[in-house]
Amino acid sequence: MTLYARLARPALFRLDSERAHELAIASLARGARLAGVLAGRVPADPRLVRELWGLRFPTPIGLAAGFDKSARALAAWPRLGFGFAETGSVTAHPQPGNPRPRIFRLPDDGALINRLAFNNDGAAAVAERIARWRRGGGPLVPLGVNIGKSRDVPLQDAADDYAATLDHIWAGADYVVVNVSSPNTPGLRRLQDATPLRAILERLLAVDAAKAASGGHARRPLLVKLAPDLGSEAADQAVDLALELGLAGLVICNTTIEREGLASPPDLVEQEGGLSGRPLRDRSTAMVRRARERAGDRLGIIGVGGVFDADDAWQKLAAGADLVQLYTGLIYGGPGTARRIGRGLVERMDREERSALPG
Ligand X SMILES: Cc1cc2nc3c(=O)[nH]c(=O)nc-3n(C[C@H](O)[C@H](O)[C@H](O)COP(=O)(O)O)c2cc1C
**255 near ligand X (CB under 6 A):** yes
- Rounded Cα gap, residues 26 and 169, in angstroms: 22
Residue nearest to ligand X (CB): 66
To the nearest whole angstrom, how small is the minimum distance from the Cβ of residue 146 to ligand X? 5
Binding residue for ligand X, selected from 87, 165, 185, 276, defined by CB under 6 A? 276
Query: Cβ distance 292 to 316 under 8 Å?
Result: no
Among residues 59, 179, 271, 337, the one that binds ligand X under rule CB under 6 A: 179
Which range in 22-30, 112-120, 235-243, 345-353 contacts ligand X by CB under 6 A? Answer: 112-120
Task: Compute the least distance from the CB of residue 356 to ligand X, in Å.
Answer: 31
- CA distances for 348 relative to 44, 47, 62, 262, angstroms: 15, 11, 19, 30
Site string for ligand X, 32-71 (x = CB under 6 A): --------------------------------xxx--x--
Taking the C-alpha atoms of residue 72 and residue 87, their distance in angstroms, rounded to an integer, is: 9
Pick from 283, 281, 280, 257: nearest CA to 269: 257
Distance CA 158, CA 93 (A): 13
Please say which residue, 51 or 181, places its beta carbon nearer to ligand X. Answer: 181
Say if residue 18 is exposed, middle or buried (CB neighbours under 10 Å; 0-12, 13-18, 19+): middle
CA dist 40 and 341 (Å) reads 12
What gap in Å lies between CA 256 and CA 280, rounded to an integer? 7
Task: Return the residue of 59, 87, 89, 91 that touches ligand X, per CB under 6 A.
Answer: 89
* Residue 329: CB minimum distance to ligand X, A: 5
Catalytic residues: 182
Applying CB under 6 A, which of residues 24, 52, 74, 116 lies at the interface with ligand X?
A: 116
Residue among 254, 271, 285, 315 that touches ligand X (CB under 6 A): 254
Out of 43, 320, 329, 333, the residue judged to bind ligand X by CB under 6 A: 329
Contacting residues for 200 by C-beta, under 8 A, at least 6 apart = 158, 159, 162, 178, 180, 191
Q: Does the protein bind ligand X through residue 316 (CB under 6 A)?
A: no
For residue 31, the surrounding DSSP H or E stretch is none
Closest distance to ligand X from the beta carbon of 331 (Å): 8
Closest CA to 89 of 103, 73, 68: 68
Would you say the C-alpha torsion 296, 299, 302, 305 has a positive or negative sign?
A: negative
Using CB under 6 A as the binding rule, the residues of this chain from 144 to 163 that contact ligand X are 146
Binding of ligand X by 277 (CB under 6 A): yes
Query: Does position 291 bind ligand X by CB under 6 A?
Result: no
Q: Which residues bind ligand X (CB under 6 A)?
A: 64-66, 69, 88-89, 103, 112, 114, 116, 118, 146, 179, 182, 225, 254-255, 276-277, 280, 304-307, 326-329
